[in-house]
Amino acid sequence: MRKDDGGASPIDPAPSISAFANLEVGNYWVYERGSFDSLNNYLGPGTLDSVVVVGQAVINGQPGFTLRTNPADPFPQDEQWIISGNKLLDGNGRVLFCTDPTNTTIWSEAADNGTTQVDWYLAPGTTPVAVGATSLSACTWVGRRTTSGGGELDDWYDQASLWVPGVGLVLTKEMPDMFPIAGQRRLLRYHVQ
């Protein structure tokens, strides 16, 4: 059992989606939310955000898990996650992460009131990412944003989430509807069984 140690084993050649999701009741992750602008100027931390696996559930007829964000908040929110083959889905069927194949669009969604589209795919290779003083190798789930007509946009508008087997989600870059400031969640500590 690991508790707030920030460590993880190296990436296996083909880890299962379960190794990334770590969906076991009692597992938790604590993130720092921050933001940065299009020149990559860090605008500072905002708040802490925590996620706890609180139970099992049946979601659209499939076994899944309930995760609670900010459980100490007066208004915590529950999310539901499902493992389906090599995909991690939310309760609405949105693909949160997929372990293969690389460079192939797995999930597409409209954004910015339909003026852009985000195509999600697994980037090849791994990306180094720090969790505390530990450097880990993460798989990157990229959300490439284009205009709804297929026109290219600057890479800055892309979204990403970095996942480490044995740890879970370690870093996100979120783009709130073409706003010139990007949001970020960075893992501070975690506990997985």
What is the spatial distance between Cα 93 and Cα 83, in angstroms, rounded to a whole number? Answer: 10
What is the spatial distance between Cα 95 and Cα 127, in angstroms, rounded to a whole number? Answer: 20
Sequential pLDDT tens for the chain (193 residues): 333 444 433 344 557 899 999 999 999 999 998 888 877 788 877 788 899 999 999 998 889 999 999 877 778 889 999 999 999 999 999 999 999 778 889 988 888 877 888 899 999 999 999 988 899 999 999 998 888 777 888 777 788 999 999 999 999 988 765 567 888 889 999 999 9
Element (H, E) at 21: helix 17-21
Nearest to 192 by CA among 173, 171, 172, 165: 165
What is the spatial distance between Cα 128 and Cα 135, in angstroms, rounded to a whole number? Answer: 6
What is the spatial distance between Cα 138 and Cα 97, in angstroms, rounded to a whole number? Answer: 12
Q: Fill in the amino acid letter for 113.
A: N
Query: pTM for the complete prediction?
Result: 0.85
User: What local confidence, expressed as pLDDT, does residue 4 receive?
Assistant: 43
Please state, as a whole number, how many other Cβ atoms lie within 10 Å of the Cβ of residue 132. Answer: 14
Q: Is 112 helix (H, G, I), strand (E, B) or coil?
A: helix
User: What local confidence, expressed as pLDDT, does residue 146 receive?
Assistant: 87
What is the spatial distance between Cα 47 and Cα 93, in angstroms, rounded to a whole number? Answer: 28
Q: What is the DSSP string of 129-188?
A: EEETTEEEEEEEEEEEEEETTS-B--GGG-EEEEEETTTEEEEEEE--TT-SEEEEEEEE
User: What local confidence, expressed as pLDDT, does residue 37 receive?
Assistant: 82
Looking only at the bridges linking them, the beta strands covering 77-84 and 87-90 are: antiparallel
Half-sphere exposure (Cβ direction) of 75: Cα atoms closer than 13 Å: 0
